[in-house]
Amino acid sequence: MKTKIAFVLFVFSFLIFKHNLSAQELYTADKTIELPGTGSYDYLFIDKQNNKLYVSHASAVNVIDLGTEKAVGSIDNLKKCHGIAIVNKLNRGFISDGNANTVVVFDINTLKIIQTIALSGKKPDAIIYDSYSNKVFAFNGGSNNVSVIDVETMKETTTIDLGGGPEFAVTNGAGKIYNNIEDLSSLKVIDSKTLTVTNTYPLAPCGGPTGITLDSANNRLFTVCRENKGMSVVDATNGKVITTVPIGTGVDAVAFDPITKLVFCSNGDGTTTIIKQETADKYTVVQTLKTVARAKTLALDTVTHKIYLSVNDPATNSFKVLVYKLAIK
C-alpha cells in the first residue's frame, strides 16, 4: 500500500510541476559512480526484481546496488563482454562475450560463473530474455543471425538467420521480438515460439538503426539511428514509420519511461536527447542533456526515474557511471 501511495504522489507531483520546469532543469546531474579499470564498454541492464544495475566493461561486468548506488561485485575473466540478460526464476544471468563467441552464465546471487555456452554464431552482441518462450536470444553481429539458448539446459538449440547485422532487440512479452538490422536500415520481427522471422520492415528515413525500445501501452517502437541522427517512432502492429525526431550524433541506446512519458536517446557527442511523448503519435524534444563524450549507452530505472550512462572519461582516464535525476522542485 505504501508503494502505491508513493507512486500516486509522484505522478501527482510530476503533473503539477511539469509545466513549470524549463528544458534546462528537467534532468540534472546527480552523482558519479567510479568503477575500476578502463577499456571498452557497452550495454547497461537493470534487474528490477533485485534492484541491481549491470554494466558491461571490457573483460568484466560490474554490478551496482541501486539502493546504495555502490559497486557490489563483478563477473570477471571474460574476453569482451557486451549485453546482459537476467532470468530471475533460475537466479541466472547471461552475458554475451563477443570475442569468445560464447554466452557466459552466472549465478546472480554469488556472481560466480556456472557455465560457458559455445555458440555457432559469431560475435554475439545484444542479448535478451523472452519470458513468453522462456528462451535467451543472443544476436550475432559477425554471422548475421541470432542464437537461441535453452535457459534450463544452458545450451544453444538453434539459430535464426537475419540477413544482416543485428543491433539492439526488444521483446513485447507476448511472442514477438523486434530487432534492428543496422546495415540494412530495417526492422525484423521474430516469432519467439516458432523461431522464425515473420516480417521485415524498412525504417526509412532512419539510417543505421541501433537502439530500440517499446511503449507497450500504445504499441509504439522507438528506434534510434546514427546516419540521419533521428529517433523514429514505429507502429509495432504494421511497421509504419509514424514520425522521426531529431537527436544528437553517434547515438547508441534508447529508453522509454511509461510514467513520465519521456524517451531518452544517449548520443556519443556528449548529449542525451530527451523527448516528450505528447500522444502516441506526437513527440517533442524537451531537453538536450549535456553528459560526457562517448557516453552513448544507458539504462533507465523506472522506479526512481534516474538514468545511468557508462563512459571511459578521457579527461580523467577512468571508467564511471554517470547518474542523472528528474528535477522536480
Residue 301 located in a structural domain: no
pTM equals: 0.93
Alpha carbons 300 and 264: distance in angstroms, whole number: 9
Residue 41 located in a structural domain: yes
Q: What is the pLDDT of residues 21-66, one digit of tens each?
A: 444 579 999 999 999 888 889 999 999 999 999 999 999 999 999 9
Residue 188 located in a structural domain: yes
Answer for the pair 233, 256: CB distance below 8 angstroms, yes or no. no
Residue 7 located in a structural domain: no
Long-range contacts of 100-109 (CB under 8 A, 24+ apart): 101/142, 103/127, 103/136, 103/138, 103/147, 103/149, 103/156, 104/75, 104/78, 105/154, 106/75, 108/47, 108/50, 108/52
Residue 216 located in a structural domain: yes
Which whole-number Å values give the CA distances from 17 to 12, 26, 27, 307, 329, in the listed order? 9, 10, 13, 20, 8
Q: What is the pLDDT of residue 66?
A: 98
Strands (E), 196-270: 196-202, 209-215, 220-225, 230-235, 241-246, 251-257, 262-267
Lowest-pLDDT range, 4-8, 86-90, 116-120, 300-304? Answer: 4-8
Mean pLDDT of 310-322: 87
Mean pLDDT of 214-222: 98
Alpha carbons 189 and 180: distance in angstroms, whole number: 9
Place of cell 500522444: 279
CATH number at residue 48: 2.130.10.10
Long-range contacts of 134-141 (CB under 8 A, 24+ apart): 135/192, 136/85, 136/87, 136/94, 136/103, 137/169, 137/177, 137/190, 137/192, 138/83, 138/94, 138/96, 138/103, 139/96, 139/166, 139/167, 139/169, 139/179, 140/166, 141/98, 141/165, 141/166, 141/167
Residue 151 located in a structural domain: yes
Whether 106 shows a pLDDT value over 80: the answer reads yes
Range of the domain at 40: 36-259+276-286
All cell numbers assigned to 268: 556519443
Query: Count of domains in the chain?
Result: 1
Q: What is the pLDDT of residue 25?
A: 75
Q: What is the pLDDT of residues 62-103, one digit of tens each?
A: 999 999 999 999 999 999 999 999 999 999 999 999 999 999
Residue 184 located in a structural domain: yes
